[in-house]
A and B are shown apart, each in its own frame.
Chain A
Amino acid sequence: MSEAVVLNLVLWLPVVGALLIPLLPRERDAPVYTLAFAVMLVQLLLVIWLFVRFESGVSGLQFATQIPWIAAWGVAYHIGLDGLNLLLVLLTALLGPLVVAGAVRTITHSVKLFYAMLLVLQFAMLGTFLAQNLFLFYLFWEAMLIPMFLIIGIWGGERRIYATVKFVLYTAFGSIFMLVAVIYLGLAAHAAQGAPSFAFSDLYALELALPVQTLLLLAFTLAFLIKIPSIPLHTWLPDAHVEAPSPGSVMLAGVLLKMGAYGFLKLGLPMLPEAAKLFTPVLMSLAVASIIYGALLAWVQDDIKKIVAYSSISHMGYVMLGLLSYELLGIQGAIMQMVSHGLISAGLFFMVGMLYERTHHRELAVFGGLAKWMPVYALFFMLLALASVGLPTTSGFTGEFLVLLGAFYGAWPAFVQGESHYALILASLAVLGVILGALYMLRLVRRLLFGPAQAPGGQPADLSRRERMILATLVLAIFTLGIYPKPFLHKTEQAALDYQRLLLEPTPAQEGL
């Protein structure tokens, strides 16, 4: 079986699963989630196989499929793996079965619809990562909205309608501008090559005038910053998280937030390098501001979910900082940080959900001393919290350390030569996140786990075996990436180098100036 076929299988399996769900008997839930779990598990195994087969040190796509689709517009069904999406696809595939396992007790009504939506969401997310054609990318990007909208809107909390409408309006608002940019790029490719094309590879080769690049980047930036989310476009996130059912929160934090950063990485910055250079100070400032702002807001929240939500804003700021460092260390760090945040925030949202299922509360004030009653819960929570703080041997350290080191290292020469100071100052300010991260996370741990034991409704049961398995999987991945990230970084290095080259190498047009 050729790898390309397997990759297609990976992408389309969830759709097959979603189509099979209506055929299942209505009375019982078990066959529904068993099917969903089986689909996700098979998908994960296939992705692991592809990951192993993925060759390091090779530029470009691997296991690609390209089939013309709407030839008149240059739209093709073109998917493939490269170093930029490899780890994100792996992350998505890993979270798939875990989310299904985690949802079993959480989702009690409209079960069939829920798992169908979860599978469709999985399809759309993987499609976004795998797409190698801008038009296809846009289709998947928009398609993600629908299942997420329904998951929050149907299975969410009390203010779910407000939250889901806010989420969709925010995202759609950004997407409109992106759509304009997508269409413009297609037309520009047509004009440049004489044939219509939305292929990424063709779009990278475009030589656009700086004003055009600036406008396009503005449009992309709006869409991506909302998704990451970066301040000041972040206020949809805490609401969406608080209202979403915990499987929804896990997917939202684990994968969806990565889309914005991936957008910058895959198309925004390398397609429009001159404008990117122009925007770097602004974007970098936003990234650092997000790190600090998100951390400070996480510190004063009383809803546990909001703490984790605001911490996401802070942690995703590191991703942006790394991408904008123009330095291999930082870029690799950003990729690591994306995966790491996906694992850690997914774990934390799972854990908040597990507590909520037992007590129907999420306010920090009503809890205390759970380490006494739920030692296993406390252990996992502690491990995830420490990873979130970025302690060595966890993935959080690998990501943060490489990002900060890369940002500093990249900014150093210009600083020493007195050419520009802002980048080094911003990189230094970002280190404040190291302190603030401990501030909010240890506050949460202290109040939740330590002190006299208390919880609404008395002593909650400790974690079940199913819950332990979910968390153990995530913790194992977190420590693997923390202790021995080398093989993973090795697979992504070539793509990170290519990205760096696209950003740094002057295009022929610029040389002519």
Chain B
Amino acid sequence: MALLSPIVVLPLLGFVLNGLIALSGRRDPVALRAVTLIGCVLPLLAFGFAVRALWALEAHPEAALIEPLFTWAVIGEHHFAIDLYLDRLSALMALIVTGIGSLIHLYSSGYMKGDAGYARYFAYLNLFLFFMLLLVLGHSLLVVFVGWEGVGLVSYLLIGFWFKDTLNAKAGKKAFIVNRIGDAGFLLGIFALFSLVGSLQLDIIQQHFLHEDIPVITATVIGLLLFIGAMGKSAQLPLHVWLADAMAGPTPVSALIHAATMVTAGVYLVARLSGVYEAAPLALAIIASIGVATALFAATVALVQTDIKKVLAYSTVSQLGFMFIALGVGAYGVAIFHLFTHAFFKACLFLAAGSVIHALQGEQDIRKMGGLARALPLTFIAFAIATAAIAGLPPLAGFFSKDEILWFALSSSQGGHGVLWGLAALSAFLTAFYMFRLLWLVFLGQPRTEPALRAQLHEAPWNMNIPVLLLAAGSLVAGFWAVPGYLHTLLPAPAIMPALAGWHGGVAGLAIALALAGLGLAVWRYGGSRYQPAPAGAPMAFGLQNLLTNAYYVDALYQRTLRTPLQFIAQHLLWRWSDQRLLDGSLHLAAATARLTARLLAYLHNGQVQWYLWLALLGLVLAVLLS
């Protein structure tokens, strides 16, 4: 029996059924219950099938499972097959996608209750799972790309889910277009790989790079092109600008798509094609540099954000940066490890934030929160666990994966460096600080909520609390599974610089100290009743805060240096001047010339016989004179 196709097909079926209900426009309780049932049960079944497939894989872990579906096209000797592929890496990804995906579907049934677009929402969410599973289970880059574009599309649709608000629709559009810039790079990488290898199948590409002698320049260019795609999807500098705006979508979407799964696709892609990067040290160095720059950049921006989701969004960008640091020093398995633990604690943080927003009837400004722990104890506990996890406090999940990243950033023989470690450690310190700041401002200290709202505060319903608590449990224990070891046969760890052997314990201790320092600083700064938020609209205290609040003005910079000039070129240079003046103008000039000539000739040909006689006489005179 087919092992892999049910994993992919079940969510697709959910999309079709829920899409039909959405189209029918039915909103009666029966239809809504059907939507919930279809939307939640099918992903859970897909998770079950993913577990079963993993079981089958573990029987012979060295041989990947391959399930051919159909052939998309045959052109000459090139076969474009649509096959599914399962090895330990894709199995892990499929488990994250279906497992955390199922929890978020369940949570959504509470969060989105009563929304006019309930069925449409679940249809999109199921469709997202389908494309995401294609992405991670695709055997060839063609299938991966189909999934890649598909998740981008659903992300666009869900960011703009409440499309009546222009801002939401604009945020969706921005996400799509920035991602398309990445996609253009990804496509070029695919084309180059196809030209070089003659195939788009991942294992063939990987083998080709292992066994053939590929010129370094070729591998570097291909690696960087693919990385451009990863930068778009995984919101790395300078293509990070869409993710903060993407928070316009419903909060469970932020948890699933913009934290746990889709945005990690870039990390998966680089790890999946590690063979290419092993042949391209320069590309790896660039990835590490961009990773650490993004980690630090986003961490600083997160320090001053006042929207609970924006803090988490920048934190996601920063954590993705950590994953790219690991990739950049050749520690692919460690990057996937952090991807795995991050999926738990970041999904937990977003869902808990969703519960807060839900309880506060849409309020997202942390200056108007505070002291919510008493009213939302379960949410608080989950949020606190996940915060400790992301801050890297042992023995929570984030500690293990982040510790490994910091260790390899320092010690990897494939580009480990003190500066890289220093900047990453600084980012880790900032992470602990801004996350505990968030925890304090939202849940502890003096309540700053509207008094009328305070009376109505209540904990979220069970279908929202259970996923949050399960994810919190995951954030507690996920780090105990040594993912890099599990993936070792596929993604071997890089060698350690001999001089640093034996220093791992010390480096880890330093990391813990930094996390505690961040915690302490946050408590000192925001703890107790010390913190008083600046009233809205008050001038910012100093320039740096302005700079950070506006995320270093990167959006404004792009607006000025890219969009406005391009618009000017299109509008004035190409359209007004080239199309209308030059091309149509010369056409009209030619037409006018023809008309004028015709009119002049018409004078000669005016039908008066005397005039013809005069002309004939003139001609005769001229002929005589000239002869």
Contacts and interface: CB of A to CB of B under 8 A. Distances in A.
Contact of B192 (A369, A393, A408, A446): A408
A378 to B, nearest CB: 9
Interface string A387-410: 000011100011000101100110
A489 B575 contact: no
A392 B177 contact: no
Contact of A392 (B146, B566, B567): B146
A332 interface: yes
Contacts of B566: 296
B198 to A, nearest CB: 9
A438 interface: yes
Contacts of B160: 450
A442 B195 contact: no
A451 B169 contact: yes
Interface string B198-232: 00000000000000000000100000000000000
Contact of B163 (A369, A402, A483): A369
Interface stretch (B70-78, B266-274, B461-469): B70-78
A453 interface: yes
A451 B166 contact: yes
A25 interface: no
A235 B587 contact: yes
Nearest to A372: B164
Contact of B164 (A329, A453, A486): A453
Interface stretch (A147-155, A184-192, A426-434): A426-434
A392 B149 contact: yes
A412 interface: yes
Nearest to A371: B163
A439 interface: yes
A405 B172 CA distance: 28
Interface string B8-51: 00000000000000010100000000000000000000000000
B146 A393 contact: yes
Contact of A300 (B168, B191, B194, B575): B575
B181 interface: yes
A300 B70 contact: no
B579 interface: yes
B146 A485 contact: no
B574 interface: yes
Contacts of A372: 163-164
A483 B80 CA distance: 12
A39 B180 CA distance: 44
B325 to A, nearest CB: 28
Question: Quick one: which of B170, B187, B570 has the most chain A CB within 10 A?
Answer: B570
A293 interface: yes
B569 A493 contact: no
Contact of B570 (A297, A408, A438, A489): A297
Contacts of B181: 435
A431 B188 contact: yes
Interface in B304-356: none
A166 B72 CA distance: 43
A431 B187 contact: yes
B367 interface: no
A40 interface: no
Contact of B73 (A232, A297, A427, A485): A485
Contacts of B567: 299-300
A449 B567 CA distance: 22
Contacts of A328: 75-76
Contact of A434 (B183, B195, B196): B183
A484 interface: yes
Contacts of A442: 156, 173, 176-177
Q: Which of B23, B25, B70, B163 has the most CB of A within 10 A?
A: B163
B252 interface: no
A320 to B, nearest CB: 18
B191 A405 contact: yes
Contact of A485 (B72, B569, B587): B72
A291 B312 CA distance: 39
Interface in A282-301: 293, 296-297, 299-301
Contact of A486 (B74, B166, B172, B574): B74
Interface string A473-508: 000000000011110011001000100000000000
Contacts of B575: 297, 300-301
A84 to B, nearest CB: 16
Given A442-B173, A446-B170, A451-B166, A435 B574 contact: no
Interface in B473-498: none
Nearest to A336: B73
B571 interface: yes
A369 B164 contact: yes
A75 interface: no
A484 B82 CA distance: 11
Given A296-B570, A329-B78, A484-B70, A449 B163 contact: yes
A452 B164 CA distance: 5
Contacts of A438: 176-177, 180
B555 interface: no
B180 A434 contact: yes
Contacts of B75: 328-329, 332, 402, 489, 493
Contacts of B190: 405
Contact of A404 (B25, B153, B156, B191): B191
A44 interface: no
A412 B195 contact: yes
A402 B194 CA distance: 12
Given A235-B584, A329-B76, A404-B191, A435 B177 contact: yes
A386 interface: yes
A232 B582 CA distance: 10
A375 B164 CA distance: 13
A443 interface: yes
Interface string B150-163: 10010010001001
Contact of B72 (A299, A379, A409, A484): A484
A431 B181 CA distance: 10
B184 interface: yes
B164 A299 contact: no
Contacts of B571: 300
A489 B173 contact: no
Nearest to B149: A392
B145 interface: yes
B592 interface: no
A432 B184 contact: yes
Contacts of B574: 293, 296-297
Given A300-B570, A391-B149, A434-B184, A489 B74 contact: yes
A235 B163 contact: no
Interface in B44-77: 70-76
Contacts of A232: 583
Contacts of B172: 446
Given A392-B146, A485-B72, A297 B579 contact: yes
A427 B190 CA distance: 13
A427 B195 CA distance: 13
A358 B408 CA distance: 64
A485 B74 CA distance: 9
17 contacts: A232-B583, A235-B584, A297-B574, A301-B575, A328-B76, A371-B163, A375-B25, A392-B149, A408-B192, A409-B194, A409-B195, A427-B191, A446-B172, A450-B166, A451-B163, A451-B169, A497-B76
Given A296-B569, A379-B23, 15 more contacts: A235-B579, A235-B584, A297-B574, A392-B146, A397-B149, A404-B187, A431-B188, A434-B183, A439-B177, A442-B176, A452-B164, A486-B71, A486-B74, A489-B75, A493-B76
Interface of A: 166, 232, 234-235, 293, 296-297, 299-301, 328-329, 332, 369, 371-372, 375, 379, 386, 391-393, 397-398, 402, 404-405, 408-409, 412, 416, 427-428, 431-432, 434-435, 438-439, 442-443, 445-446, 449-453, 483-486, 489-490, 493, 497
Would you list the 8 A-B pairs with minimal beta carbon distance, nearest first? A450-B169, A412-B195, A408-B191, A451-B166, A296-B570, A392-B146, A450-B163, A300-B571
